């Protein structure tokens, strides 16, 4: 199982003072050298953390895999086609949310998503969709010709230390089993920490985990290199 490190919150700290440090591009290089298998960024429409210049520099420097999380808008499609990340992950986006609060509703936004997917695929850009662990959402992705999904682990992460954890894990397991039968490549992430990631790691059909906040938060105490290495050790 691979680890992609989300560096958004390095940029959040930088933007708190509208300055030039800490540099998320430098953080990405450190994460790669520490063993990260990919770098994930979310270029939000309100540009609250990652900026387009960061994307430009990361595209030039990243040696592993660059995953661009993006809203389902044609403005974002234009940016994605300009810089050609290795994969684009379509996510829901709201200016009121602190962070991504759930999976993209592929059933409701089917037409809009299909337009974005078709444009990206026509340019040779791989596409993933961030979805809740829900069979109907996975079916909708399949009908659209999408073959990579990222399962939202947020509900499990919020409940990992209470009685709801078993229920949330079962939802994830059933979704993964179904997605595997439909020949999806399966990624997962959201809210995962050093304390709660292990039950997810045991689900071997997951190809890659996207983890950001916990790694960045712990890097303030142990350094980014060690924070990435420790997460890699747990996954291993």
Catalytic residue numbers read 42, 69, 190
> What CA–CA distance (Å, rounded) separates 21 from 95?
24
HSE at residue 59, side-chain half, CA atoms within 13 A, is: 17
In sequence order, what E strands does the chain have? 2-6, 38-42, 66-70, 87-90, 126-131, 148-152, 185-189, 206-211
> What CA–CA distance (Å, rounded) separates 85 from 125?
7
> Hey, what long-range contacts does 49-56 have (CB within 8 A, 24 or more apart)?
49/8, 49/9, 49/11, 49/12, 49/14, 49/15, 49/24, 50/7, 50/8, 50/11, 50/24, 51/11, 52/79, 54/11, 54/24, 54/25, 55/79, 55/83, 55/85, 56/83
Kindly tell me the number of DSSP H helices and DSSP E strands found in the chain: 11, 8
């Amino acid at each position: 199982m691979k680890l992609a490190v989300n560096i958004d919150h390095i940029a959040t700290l930088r933007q708190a003072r509208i300055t030039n440090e800490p540099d998320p591009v430098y953080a990405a290089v450190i994460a790669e050298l520490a063993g990260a298998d990919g770098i994930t960024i979310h270029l939000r429409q309100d540009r609250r953390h990652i900026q387009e210049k960061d994307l430009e520099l990361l595209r030039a420097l990243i040696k592993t895999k660059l995953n661009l999380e993006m809203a389902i808008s044609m403005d974002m499609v234009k940016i994605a086609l300009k810089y050609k990340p290795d994969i684009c992950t379509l996510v829901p986006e709201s200016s009121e949310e602190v962070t991504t609060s759930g999976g993209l509703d592929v059933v409701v936004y089917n037409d809009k998503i299909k337009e974005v997917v078709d444009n990206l695929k026509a340019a040779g850009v791989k596409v993933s969709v961030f979805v809740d662990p829900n069979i109907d959402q996975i079916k909708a992705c399949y009908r659209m010709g999408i073959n990579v999904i990222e399962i939202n682990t947020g509900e499990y992460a919020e409940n990992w230390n209470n009685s709801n954890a078993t229920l949330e894990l079962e939802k994830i397991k059933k979704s993964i089993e179904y997605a595997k039968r439909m020949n999806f490549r399966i990624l997962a992430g959201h809210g995962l920490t050093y304390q709660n990631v292990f039950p997810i790691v045991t689900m071997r059909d997951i190809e890659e985990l996207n983890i950001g906040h916990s790694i960045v938060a712990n890097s303030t105490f142990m350094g980014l290199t060690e924070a990435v290495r420790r997460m890699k050790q747990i996954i291993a």
